[in-house]
Amino acid sequence: MIRGIRGATSVEADTREEVLAATAELLREVLQRNDVTDLERVSSAFFTTTPDLTSCFPAEAARGVGFGAVPLLCASEIDVAGALPRLIRVLLHVDTPLGQHDVQHVYLHRAKALRPDLGEAQ
């Protein structure tokens, strides 16, 4: 069954190095927590960034993690007043035996504030 797995992280500055490192960290953590060891199981990945991140595409980091054959798409989030700045989000579509309630969504750094309901499962 294809399941959606969400994740988000933050960077302190809009630099290529920070965006790529944070995205790679996020992807590795999502894959590890959901026991995705075969990237053939990843159908696609959709990345968004807050409008203040323009230094590079997060998909570049995904290719570096091994997502070379996975369809990747990047977009900018809508600019909502008061929203957390400098965030990178991802939605992975993964073929997994996990039930939707068993999937581990991953929120790192300041992005933990987006889903306080996940508590220590983050």
User: Could you give the 3-state DSSP secondary structure of residue 85?
Assistant: coil
Q: Which of 29, 33, 74, 110 is labelled catalytic?
A: 74
Q: Which of 6, 28, 33, 110 is labelled catalytic?
A: 6
Residue 56 appears among annotated catalytic residues: no
Residue 3 appears among annotated catalytic residues: no
Residue 28 appears among annotated catalytic residues: no
Nearest-angstrom CA–CA distance, 90 and 24: 11
Q: Which of 25, 28, 77, 110 is labelled catalytic?
A: 77
Residue 6 assigned to a binding site: yes
User: Could you give the 3-state DSSP secondary structure of residue 29?
Assistant: helix
Structure tokens at 23: 């995205």
Residue 110 appears among annotated catalytic residues: no
Residue 110 assigned to a binding site: no
Nearest-angstrom CA–CA distance, 90 and 23: 9
Residue 93 β-bridge partners = 4, 44
Residue 41 assigned to a binding site: no
Residue 89 appears among annotated catalytic residues: yes
Which residues are tagged catalytic? 6, 63, 74, 77, 89, 107, 115
Binding residues: 6, 89, 107
